[in-house]
Amino acid sequence: MALDTLPPIGMGTYRLTGDTARDAVRSALSLGYRHIDTARMYDNESEVGDGITSSGIPRRDIFLTTKIWHDRLHYSDLMNSLKDSLQRLKTDHVDLTLIHWPSPGDEVPMEEYLDALRDAQREGLTRFVGVSNFTNAQLDNARVILGDTPILTNQVEVHPFLANRKVVSHVQELGIKVTGYMPLAVGRVMDDETLQGIAHQHNATPAQIAIAWVASRGIVPIPSSTRPEHQKSNLEALDIELSIDDIDAIDKLDRNERIANPDIAPDWD
Protein backbone atom coordinates (compact mmCIF):
# COMPACT_ATOMS: atom_id res chain seq x y z
CA MET A 1 0.00 0.00 0.00
CA ALA A 2 1.63 3.24 -1.14
CA LEU A 3 1.99 6.00 1.45
CA ASP A 4 -0.62 8.67 0.76
CA THR A 5 0.85 11.51 2.76
CA LEU A 6 4.15 12.68 4.15
CA PRO A 7 5.39 10.51 7.01
CA PRO A 8 5.88 12.54 10.23
CA ILE A 9 9.68 12.66 9.91
CA GLY A 10 12.06 12.27 7.00
CA MET A 11 15.72 11.58 6.38
CA GLY A 12 17.41 14.57 4.73
CA THR A 13 20.37 13.85 2.45
CA TYR A 14 21.81 17.32 1.77
CA ARG A 15 25.64 17.22 1.73
CA LEU A 16 25.70 13.40 1.82
CA THR A 17 27.71 11.87 -1.02
CA GLY A 18 29.19 8.58 -2.16
CA ASP A 19 29.15 5.58 0.17
CA THR A 20 28.21 7.89 3.05
CA ALA A 21 24.90 8.66 1.32
CA ARG A 22 24.29 5.02 0.40
CA ASP A 23 24.96 3.78 3.91
CA ALA A 24 22.98 6.59 5.58
CA VAL A 25 19.86 5.91 3.49
CA ARG A 26 20.06 2.15 4.01
CA SER A 27 20.62 2.64 7.76
CA ALA A 28 17.73 5.11 8.08
CA LEU A 29 15.34 2.74 6.34
CA SER A 30 16.45 -0.18 8.52
CA LEU A 31 15.69 1.93 11.62
CA GLY A 32 12.16 2.74 10.47
CA TYR A 33 12.37 5.93 8.42
CA ARG A 34 9.99 5.81 5.46
CA HIS A 35 10.54 9.29 4.02
CA ILE A 36 13.77 10.03 2.11
CA ASP A 37 14.43 13.55 0.82
CA THR A 38 16.93 14.31 -1.95
CA ALA A 39 17.35 16.75 -4.85
CA ARG A 40 19.06 17.04 -8.20
CA MET A 41 21.34 19.72 -6.75
CA TYR A 42 22.57 17.41 -3.98
CA ASP A 43 24.34 15.30 -6.62
CA ASN A 44 23.55 12.12 -4.69
CA GLU A 45 20.42 10.72 -6.33
CA SER A 46 22.28 7.65 -7.63
CA GLU A 47 23.60 6.88 -4.16
CA VAL A 48 20.18 7.49 -2.59
CA GLY A 49 18.72 5.07 -5.15
CA ASP A 50 21.38 2.50 -4.26
CA GLY A 51 20.57 2.87 -0.57
CA ILE A 52 16.88 2.31 -1.24
CA THR A 53 17.31 -0.70 -3.51
CA SER A 54 19.80 -2.36 -1.16
CA SER A 55 17.67 -1.75 1.94
CA GLY A 56 15.23 -4.58 1.26
CA ILE A 57 12.32 -2.23 2.01
CA PRO A 58 9.69 -2.37 -0.77
CA ARG A 59 9.70 0.79 -2.88
CA ARG A 60 5.94 1.21 -2.31
CA ASP A 61 6.59 1.54 1.44
CA ILE A 62 9.00 4.47 0.96
CA PHE A 63 7.99 8.08 0.40
CA LEU A 64 10.68 9.50 -1.89
CA THR A 65 11.06 13.23 -2.56
CA THR A 66 13.29 14.98 -5.09
CA LYS A 67 13.51 18.58 -6.29
CA ILE A 68 13.99 20.50 -9.53
CA TRP A 69 16.83 23.02 -9.48
CA HIS A 70 16.22 26.59 -10.62
CA ASP A 71 18.22 26.18 -13.85
CA ARG A 72 15.80 23.46 -15.05
CA LEU A 73 12.50 25.31 -14.81
CA HIS A 74 11.67 25.73 -18.50
CA TYR A 75 8.98 23.20 -19.47
CA SER A 76 11.10 20.67 -21.37
CA ASP A 77 14.06 21.15 -18.99
CA LEU A 78 11.90 20.32 -16.00
CA MET A 79 10.46 17.19 -17.59
CA ASN A 80 13.92 15.99 -18.65
CA SER A 81 15.37 16.81 -15.23
CA LEU A 82 12.76 14.71 -13.49
CA LYS A 83 13.21 11.81 -15.90
CA ASP A 84 16.98 11.97 -15.29
CA SER A 85 16.34 11.95 -11.55
CA LEU A 86 14.16 8.86 -11.85
CA GLN A 87 16.90 7.09 -13.77
CA ARG A 88 19.47 7.94 -11.13
CA LEU A 89 17.09 6.98 -8.31
CA LYS A 90 16.37 3.65 -10.05
CA THR A 91 12.61 4.06 -9.88
CA ASP A 92 9.80 4.77 -12.32
CA HIS A 93 8.31 7.53 -10.15
CA VAL A 94 8.94 9.62 -7.08
CA ASP A 95 6.27 10.28 -4.49
CA LEU A 96 6.86 14.02 -4.37
CA THR A 97 8.54 16.49 -6.70
CA LEU A 98 9.29 19.98 -5.41
CA ILE A 99 10.34 23.16 -7.15
CA HIS A 100 13.56 23.66 -5.14
CA TRP A 101 13.55 27.46 -5.42
CA PRO A 102 11.17 29.81 -7.23
CA SER A 103 12.72 31.13 -10.44
CA PRO A 104 15.14 33.94 -9.45
CA GLY A 105 13.68 37.24 -10.56
CA ASP A 106 10.82 35.34 -12.22
CA GLU A 107 13.14 34.63 -15.16
CA VAL A 108 10.97 31.60 -15.93
CA PRO A 109 7.26 32.36 -15.47
CA MET A 110 5.70 30.37 -12.67
CA GLU A 111 2.95 29.24 -15.05
CA GLU A 112 5.53 27.49 -17.23
CA TYR A 113 7.21 25.41 -14.55
CA LEU A 114 4.07 24.64 -12.58
CA ASP A 115 2.30 23.52 -15.76
CA ALA A 116 5.26 21.20 -16.36
CA LEU A 117 5.07 19.92 -12.80
CA ARG A 118 1.36 19.22 -13.16
CA ASP A 119 1.95 17.40 -16.44
CA ALA A 120 4.69 15.32 -14.81
CA GLN A 121 2.14 14.26 -12.21
CA ARG A 122 -0.42 13.42 -14.90
CA GLU A 123 2.18 11.28 -16.66
CA GLY A 124 2.81 9.34 -13.45
CA LEU A 125 6.38 10.55 -12.98
CA THR A 126 5.45 11.90 -9.54
CA ARG A 127 2.52 11.13 -7.25
CA PHE A 128 2.39 14.53 -5.57
CA VAL A 129 3.73 18.02 -6.29
CA GLY A 130 4.93 20.79 -4.03
CA VAL A 131 7.24 23.75 -3.62
CA SER A 132 10.20 24.76 -1.51
CA ASN A 133 11.42 28.16 -0.33
CA PHE A 134 8.28 29.90 -1.58
CA THR A 135 7.08 33.09 0.07
CA ASN A 136 3.43 33.41 1.04
CA ALA A 137 2.66 35.51 -2.04
CA GLN A 138 4.42 32.99 -4.29
CA LEU A 139 2.50 30.13 -2.68
CA ASP A 140 -0.79 31.96 -3.21
CA ASN A 141 0.12 32.52 -6.86
CA ALA A 142 1.09 28.86 -7.25
CA ARG A 143 -2.28 27.73 -5.86
CA VAL A 144 -4.12 29.87 -8.41
CA ILE A 145 -2.00 28.50 -11.27
CA LEU A 146 -2.38 24.87 -10.21
CA GLY A 147 -6.10 25.16 -9.55
CA ASP A 148 -7.46 21.72 -8.73
CA THR A 149 -3.97 20.22 -8.44
CA PRO A 150 -3.14 20.27 -4.72
CA ILE A 151 0.21 21.44 -3.38
CA LEU A 152 1.29 18.83 -0.83
CA THR A 153 3.93 20.90 0.98
CA ASN A 154 6.05 24.02 1.11
CA GLN A 155 9.48 22.94 2.34
CA VAL A 156 11.19 25.75 4.24
CA GLU A 157 13.93 26.28 6.80
CA VAL A 158 12.65 25.83 10.37
CA HIS A 159 14.59 25.45 13.60
CA PRO A 160 14.50 27.05 17.08
CA PHE A 161 16.50 30.05 15.85
CA LEU A 162 14.26 30.56 12.79
CA ALA A 163 10.66 29.81 13.70
CA ASN A 164 9.48 31.17 10.32
CA ARG A 165 6.07 31.81 11.88
CA LYS A 166 4.52 33.98 9.17
CA VAL A 167 5.13 31.36 6.50
CA VAL A 168 4.29 28.34 8.67
CA SER A 169 0.99 29.88 9.78
CA HIS A 170 -0.04 30.83 6.26
CA VAL A 171 0.82 27.45 4.77
CA GLN A 172 -0.99 25.55 7.50
CA GLU A 173 -4.07 27.80 7.26
CA LEU A 174 -4.29 26.73 3.62
CA GLY A 175 -4.32 23.07 4.66
CA ILE A 176 -0.87 22.49 3.16
CA LYS A 177 1.85 20.61 5.05
CA VAL A 178 5.03 22.39 6.09
CA THR A 179 8.24 20.39 5.76
CA GLY A 180 11.04 21.85 7.89
CA TYR A 181 14.60 21.50 6.66
CA MET A 182 17.70 22.12 8.79
CA PRO A 183 15.73 21.47 12.02
CA LEU A 184 19.03 21.20 13.92
CA ALA A 185 20.39 24.47 12.48
CA VAL A 186 23.41 22.52 11.14
CA GLY A 187 24.29 21.39 14.66
CA ARG A 188 24.00 24.78 16.39
CA VAL A 189 21.15 23.53 18.59
CA MET A 190 23.64 21.34 20.46
CA ASP A 191 25.37 24.39 21.99
CA ASP A 192 22.27 26.26 23.15
CA GLU A 193 21.89 26.43 26.94
CA THR A 194 18.09 26.59 26.87
CA LEU A 195 17.86 23.47 24.73
CA GLN A 196 20.50 21.77 26.88
CA GLY A 197 18.47 22.49 30.01
CA ILE A 198 15.22 21.18 28.56
CA ALA A 199 17.04 18.15 27.19
CA HIS A 200 18.38 17.37 30.66
CA GLN A 201 14.84 17.43 32.08
CA HIS A 202 13.67 14.94 29.45
CA ASN A 203 16.78 12.73 29.53
CA ALA A 204 17.24 13.64 25.89
CA THR A 205 19.65 15.55 23.65
CA PRO A 206 19.27 19.15 22.45
CA ALA A 207 18.87 17.75 18.93
CA GLN A 208 15.92 15.64 20.06
CA ILE A 209 14.35 18.65 21.77
CA ALA A 210 14.70 20.74 18.61
CA ILE A 211 13.06 18.02 16.50
CA ALA A 212 10.30 17.52 19.06
CA TRP A 213 9.60 21.28 19.00
CA VAL A 214 9.40 21.35 15.20
CA ALA A 215 7.08 18.32 15.21
CA SER A 216 4.91 19.86 17.97
CA ARG A 217 4.08 22.66 15.51
CA GLY A 218 2.65 20.18 13.00
CA ILE A 219 5.76 20.45 10.81
CA VAL A 220 7.50 17.44 9.21
CA PRO A 221 11.21 17.65 10.18
CA ILE A 222 13.82 16.19 7.83
CA PRO A 223 17.06 16.03 9.84
CA SER A 224 20.19 14.78 8.12
CA SER A 225 22.50 12.35 9.87
CA THR A 226 25.03 9.75 8.78
CA ARG A 227 25.41 7.90 12.08
CA PRO A 228 22.84 5.21 12.92
CA GLU A 229 22.77 6.18 16.60
CA HIS A 230 21.91 9.77 15.69
CA GLN A 231 19.31 8.64 13.15
CA LYS A 232 17.68 6.48 15.83
CA SER A 233 17.80 9.34 18.32
CA ASN A 234 16.18 11.71 15.81
CA LEU A 235 13.40 9.21 15.16
CA GLU A 236 12.78 8.75 18.89
CA ALA A 237 12.43 12.54 19.28
CA LEU A 238 8.86 12.21 18.00
CA ASP A 239 7.97 10.43 21.27
CA ILE A 240 9.04 13.38 23.44
CA GLU A 241 6.16 15.42 24.85
CA LEU A 242 7.25 18.97 25.55
CA SER A 243 5.44 20.97 28.23
CA ILE A 244 3.88 24.36 27.57
CA ASP A 245 6.78 25.91 29.50
CA ASP A 246 9.29 24.01 27.35
CA ILE A 247 7.66 25.23 24.16
CA ASP A 248 7.45 28.79 25.46
CA ALA A 249 11.16 28.78 26.30
CA ILE A 250 12.10 27.40 22.88
CA ASP A 251 9.81 29.90 21.14
CA LYS A 252 11.87 32.70 22.70
CA LEU A 253 15.03 31.45 20.92
CA ASP A 254 13.72 32.72 17.58
CA ARG A 255 16.17 35.31 16.24
CA ASN A 256 15.42 35.07 12.52
CA GLU A 257 18.74 33.29 12.00
CA ARG A 258 18.47 32.12 8.41
CA ILE A 259 21.16 29.65 7.30
CA ALA A 260 20.01 28.90 3.74
CA ASN A 261 19.99 32.34 2.12
CA PRO A 262 21.69 32.18 -1.30
CA ASP A 263 21.68 34.92 -3.91
CA ILE A 264 18.78 33.21 -5.68
CA ALA A 265 16.53 33.45 -2.62
CA PRO A 266 13.26 35.39 -2.85
CA ASP A 267 12.47 38.39 -0.64
CA TRP A 268 11.59 36.47 2.52
CA ASP A 269 8.42 37.06 4.53
Active-site amino acid positions: 42
HSE at residue 20, side-chain half, CA atoms within 13 A, is 12
3-class DSSP assignment, residue 260:
coil
CA distances for 52 relative to 19, 23, 30, 160, 242, angstroms: 13, 10, 10, 31, 33
Q: Cβ of 230: how many Cβ atoms within 10 Å?
A: 18
Q: Which residues face 12 on adjacent strands?
A: 37
3-class DSSP assignment, residue 209:
helix
> What's at 128, amino acid-wise?
F
Contact 192, 202 (CB under 8 A): no
Q: Which residues face 99 on adjacent strands?
A: 68, 131
> What's at 165, amino acid-wise?
R
How far apart, in whole angstroms, are the C-alpha atoms of residue 236 and residue 108? 42
Q: Cβ of 115: how many Cβ atoms within 10 Å?
A: 16
Contact 156, 136 (CB under 8 A): no
End-to-end CA distance of the chain: 38
Contact 202, 196 (CB under 8 A): no
